Amino acid sequence: VTQEFDLYAVREEHELLRESVRALVESKIAPYAAAVDHDARYPQEAHDALHAADMAAIHIPEEYGGAGADALATCIVIEEVARACVSSSLIPAVNKLGTMPVILAGSEELKRRYLTPVARGEGMFSYALSEPEAGSDAGGMTTRAVPDGDGWRLNGVKRWITNAGVSDYYTVMAVTEPGIGTRGISAFVVEKADEGVSFGAPEKKLGIKGSPTREVYFDNVWIPGDRIIGEPGTGFKTAMRTLDHTRVTIAAQAVGVAQGALDYATQYVKERRQFGKPIAELQGVQFMLADMGMKLTAARQLTYTAAAKSERNDADLTYFGAAAKCFASDAAMEITTDAVQLLGGYGYTQDYPLERMMRDAKITQIYEGTNQVQRVVMARQLLKG
């Protein structure tokens, strides 16, 4: 793990991208964020707007018809969408998560067949690793793929699958050789249209209510042999390497929601008057704002540094991806909680966006590996070095 200061140069084109995403978010996504949360409905407006602007899967390389955005640009899109609506930010984030195994380890034919429609906005991709009894211990999965003719027969259940039912394509990790642990796991592309694929009811969640989370069932699903991602037995490594890259996008999501909360609270304390003056003049309030800003700055810098590592596919990305996700999500939880506090009773009501932001922030400490798992990952990397 290198500790040198490795700030990604945020170039002019990244800032121009940020401005254009922000404008899109303000006009087409932010106005629906409260209703999407309240009604726990899919953010169709965000879906349409992101697809129309080619921002739903901006990371897909140009050779497959995508915009070829680098890891930082992808983070900026996710961050700016999450600033207004975390549920909507899962559209670009999960498209990256689902396609990353194909990008990292798929055959040329698989890349052409599955990345191109996602780049064109003709389909979305989800990632299916977790199971009811295999969450943090992802290697303990029991979903099984057995050779059958010139393909595989798949049986099992995946749980906590983001955008399940909406996505047309799924990266599914399954045991192909039992008894040898994670080296017996392989990754496959499964289509929603494959016979035997079905979905559970949407989970009723604390936050990210606009993003459907469901179980996915595989009942004797036959998958053609050419849909395996990489060699048999490499699926767990591909799944872990994918998370190294995409934990950075969860960090970006956390930075986005924290920025949204800080912006709102900062404006509020300048307007809210108590004891004959704006509460922004009270030192106790100023100290809270300062701490929120300081944590957010540190979280963003670490996130962008990790994005640089992701773009270069650096060997120490495992450490930086975990560190960015863990630090930024803990910061987002603290910042959104303090933002609610600064609004007092108003912050606690649905008339203001902060209680939603606080509920949405919570998931960033849990998914793509709990922050306890991130600490395990970081410690292992430090001890290895």
139 binds ligand CAA (CB under 6 A): yes
Q: Quick one: which of 74, 87, 89, 130 contacts ligand CAA (CB under 6 A)?
A: 130
Out of 215, 311, 355, 368, the active site residue is 368
Alpha-carbon gap, residue 144 to 159, rounded angstroms? 15
Taking CB under 6 A as the criterion, the residue among 95, 186, 318, 329 binding ligand CAA is 318
Question: Is 368 marked active-site?
Answer: yes
Choosing from 2, 27, 136, 198, the residue that interacts with ligand CAA (CB under 6 A) is 136
Q: Which residue number, 10 or 366, has a Cβ lying nearer to ligand CAA?
A: 366
Closest contact distance (angstroms) between CB of 193 and ligand CAA is 21
Minimum distance from residue 134 beta carbon to ligand CAA (Å): 9
Query: Buried b / exposed e across 157-185, counting CB within 10 Å, b at 16+?
Result: bbbbbbbbbbbbbbbbbbbbeeeeebebb
Q: Decide if residue 320 touches ligand CAA (CB under 6 A).
A: no
Give the range of 113-121, 151-159, 193-201, 368-376 binding ligand CAA by CB under 6 A.
Answer: 368-376
CB environment 206-230: b (16+ within 10 A), e (fewer): ebbbbbbbbbbebeebebeeebbbb
CB nearer ligand CAA, residue 227 or residue 241 = 241
Using the minimum distance from each CB to ligand CAA, give the nearer residue, 93 or 342. Answer: 93
Examine residue 241 and tell whether it contacts ligand CAA (CB under 6 A).
Answer: yes
Using CB positions, name the residue nearest to ligand CAA.
369
Contact flag: residue 129 with ligand CAA (CB under 6 A): yes
Nearest residue to 249 via CA among 65, 369, 76: 76
Distance (Å, whole) CA 39 – CA 158: 26
Interface of this chain with ligand CAA, residues 66 to 105, rule: CB under 6 A: 94, 97
Number of residues that bind ligand CAA (CB under 6 A): 27
Q: Considering beta carbons, is residue 130 or 305 the nearer one to ligand CAA?
A: 130
Residue from 14, 237, 272, 375 touching ligand CAA (CB under 6 A): that is 237
Q: Which of residues 127, 319, 320, 327 is near ligand CAA by CB under 6 A?
A: 127
Instruction: Collect contacts of 374-378 with beta carbons under 8 A, ≥24 apart.
Output: 374/247, 374/322, 374/323, 374/325, 374/326, 375/322, 375/326, 377/318, 377/319, 377/322, 378/319, 378/322, 378/323, 378/326
Contacting residue, 29, 33, 76, 138, with ligand CAA by CB under 6 A:
138
Residue 212 interacting with ligand CAA (CB under 6 A) = no
Cβ closer to ligand CAA: 125 or 268?
125
Q: Which residues, including other chains, have CB under 8 Å from residue 98's CB and lie 6 or more apart?
A: 124, 125, 126, 127, 167, 169, 170, 171
Q: Name the site residues for ligand CAA (rule: CB under 6 A).
A: 94, 97, 127, 129-130, 136-139, 160-162, 182-183, 236-237, 240-241, 243-244, 318, 367-369, 373, 376-377
Catalytic residue positions, numbered? 368
